[in-house]
Structure 1
Amino acid sequence: MTYVLVVVVLTLAFPWGGAALAGRLADRLPPRWACWTLVGAAVLLAGGTLSALIGLFHVPFLASLERLPLNHVLKLWPAAVPLACAAGAVMLTQLVLLARRWTRHRSLLGAAWLSVGAGTGDGDVLVVPGTDVDAFALPGYRGRQGRVVVTSGMMRSLKPGEREVLLAHERAHLAGRHHLLSAVTDLVAVVHPAIRRLREALAFHLERWADEEAAAAVGDRRLAAAAIARAALAGSARGRVAGYPLLSATRGPVPRRVEALLLPEPVPPRGGVRRVGVAALAASVVAAAVAALAVAFGLHEYVEFAARRLICG
């Protein structure tokens, strides 16, 4: 069973290296590609981790199918039951954290809709009165369509062209359903701590994705950069409306976003970069699948070996 433990340990350690690889790859890709790479990597790494935990948890169950006494299992592999209990405890903790995080997402979204109740609508834009300076994309909730929420303070802080950039940025979040990508990565981050770094990277690249969409909508990258910078500066000087914590033009490392907008528009990957990206994602899929199969095969062989020992003994 030594090699099974080695495979399990490697499977649980793999997300650290996989997350680092996905983060570096995302920095070399255009924002849209970067976001999908990070979300895909997060889901695959979480799946590989769960496969190892489920495999460990099922050792006593597999033994019972072969009608092996528990004390015999412990003689052959003393750590079987403790590891199965530990795996079960970890998965139970993950389930509790997942439920809590999902509830938090829903409660924050509900609170955000309540906080903008005094706003006045104009198409897909909801203007909230007051001196606060803020703007964010508010996803749909309980049958209500998603809206772009902008405070009157933010509207006064920007020039007409900059307002167009801001609205285009938030509309890009809603049109691309960026909140779903963010939510998926945030939820699977409870499976393994290494996935949290992907969540942070994804928040940046989602804003970059919306920045690029806004720049394309207004046809002026310098205007888009100026609008993002001005909105961030104005928002940092005052409070903010209690809203959904993601998908806002004033979030993330704004200087990096502004610098990127002052550069030429990123192009989809070609040739070597595309091959590297596909190879990296394929490697993640293969690694997760091989780890799951190795754990399953090893546990099956262990049960068969234990059964033969019991019969021969």
Structure 2
Amino acid sequence: MTLFLVIVALAVLLPWAAAPAARRLAGLLPPREASLTLAGAAVLLAGGTVAALAGLFHVPFLAVLEQLRFAQVAADWPAVVPVSGAAGVLLAAQAVRLALAARRHRVLLSRAWELTGEGKADGDVLVVPGEEAEAFALPRYRGRAGRVVVTEGMLGVLGPTERAVLLAHERAHLGGRHHVLSAVTDFAAAVHPALAQLGPTLEFHLERWADEAAAAAVGDRKAAATAIAHAALAGSVGTGGRGGGFLSVSTGPVPQRVRALLEPVPAGPRGRGPRAAASGLVAAVLVSVLLALGLAYGLHEYVEYAARRIVGH
């Protein structure tokens, strides 16, 4: 049982080391690859933790499947009951946190659609009356296709090219299904607290992804940078408006985003630093997965050994 506890401890503690490695690697990658790396790492690390806890929780049930009486197993292996119980409590807590996160996302989406109900549709754009300057990507909901939501106030402060940049930016969020990547990372953070630090980093890289798409759409990186800065300054950031919580042109550290657009198109990572960061992250994720697989195999062997020992009595 000691070996299994060590495996579970490693699976639970590993995300604390892997999350910073993922953030460092993301900073060395182009926006699209960085976003996919962060979301993928979050899912795999959270999955490894759940698998490890689920394996420990199922020890008594595996013993029953081996036709052992639970009382016998508990008598010969007294650690089974408290360890399995602790794993069950942690799994229950994770389930509650996941349910709350899912509910929060549903409420946010429902509220946003309700608040934009008075808008007028123009293709995939929903123009909402109001003097406040807001623009955000509203994902699909209950059969309604996703929309780029923009207020009359935002359209009024932007010129024609700036409007084109704004719409291209929000369309990139919808087309790339960025809300899915954001949601799965949020759910992973509900499973393991260490993964919460990936959320803000992912949000930044998703905005950079949309920024680059907008710059490519208008064919002018400087114009795109100017438009994003203008829209961000005009936007009602942090006021709890219609799009609070959704990906918007005003989201994230805007100065860094603008500065990145004034530089050449980002290329792939080069040099020893990126390779070292990538190797560290891949190693951490692989270790997490292998620990979960090793635990599953080890649990089976453990129950077999327990069966032989108890029957031998």
| Structure-2-length-normalised TM-score | 0.92
Range that drifts further, 302-311 or 64-73: 64-73
Matches within 5 A, 1:38-117: 38-117=38-117
Task: Report the AA paired with residue 304 of structure 1.
Answer: E
Pairing 1:169-180 to 2, within 5 Å after superposition: 169-180=169-180
**Once the two structures are superposed, what CA deviation does each residue of 1:177-219 show, in whole Å capped at 9, x if it has no partner?**
1111111211222110111111221111100100111111112
**Contact in 2 for aligned 1:212/1:261 (Cα 8 Å):** yes
- 2: CA distance between counterparts of 1:276 and 1:109? 39
- 1:77 and 1:203 map into 2 onto residues whose CA distance is 47
| 1:91 Cα deviation from its structure 2 partner | 1.4
- The letter of the residue matching 2:34 is A
Q: Residues 246-292 of structure 1, C-alpha deviation per residue, up to 9 Å, x if partnerless?
A: 21010111111112112111023468678667645643453133201
Give the corresponding residue for 1:286.
286
Map 1:263-282 to 2 at 5 A: 263-269=263-269, 279-280=279-280, 282=282
Counterpart amino acid of 2:245? P
Which amino acid in 2 is paired with 1:158?
L
CA offsets per residue over residues 119-176 of structure 1, 9 Å max, x none? 1222221111111111001111122221111111111222222121111110111111
SS of 2:148 mapped into structure 1:
strand
Aligned-partner Cα distance in 2 for 1:274–1:239 = 38
The answer on 1:188 being equivalent to 2:188 is yes
Matches of 1:268 and 1:175 in 2, distance apart?
A: 22
Alignment of 1:90-239 (within 5 A): 90-236=90-236, 239=239
Counterpart AA for 1:291 = L
Kept after mapping to 1: 8 A contact 2:112/2:242? yes
Aligned counterparts of 1:205 and 1:18: Cα–Cα separation in 2: 18
Q: How big is the alpha-carbon RMSD for the aligned residues of Structure 1 and Structure 2? A: 2.2
| Matched-pair contact (CA < 8 Å) for 2:21–2:277 | no
Aligned residue pairs total 313
Q: How far apart, CA to CA, are the structure 1 residues paired with 2:280 and 2:109?
A: 35
Q: How far off its partner does 1:96 sit? A: 2.2
Unaligned runs of 5+ in 1: none
What amino acid sits opposite 1:287 in the alignment?
A: V
SS where residue 190 of structure 1 aligns? helix
Quick one: which amino acid aligns to residue 64 of structure 2?
Answer: S
Amino acid in structure 1 at the alignment position of 2:133: V
Which string of whole-angstrom CA distances, capped at 9 and with x for unpartnered residues, describes residues 227-262 of structure 1? 111211112479463235121010111111112112
Contact 1:127 1:150 in 2 (8 A): yes
**Separation in structure 1 between the aligned mates of residue 112 and residue 175 of structure 2, nearest angstrom:** 19
Q: What SS does the corresponding residue of 1:225 show, helix, strand or coil?
A: helix
| Counterpart-to-counterpart distance in 1, 2:123 and 2:69 | 68
State the alpha-carbon separation in 1 of the partners of residues 131 and 111 from structure 2. Answer: 20
Does the 8 Å contact 1:128/1:149 carry over to 2?
A: yes
Tell me which residue corresponds to 1:250: 250
**In structure 1, distance between residues paired with 2:101 and 2:83:** 27
Residue 294 of structure 1, CA deviation: 2.1
Q: Deviations for 1:44-88, whole angstroms, at most 9, x for unmatched residues?
A: 101110111011101111222233343443344333211211211
Q: Indicate the residue corresponding to 1:259 in structure 2.
A: 259
2:235 is paired with a residue whose SS is: helix
Show the counterpart of 2:298: 298
Change (3 A) 1:58 1:251: same
Q: Distance in 1 between matches of 2:143 and 2:213?
A: 26
Q: Distance in 2 between matches of 1:202 and 1:62?
A: 39
Match of 2:31 in 1: 31
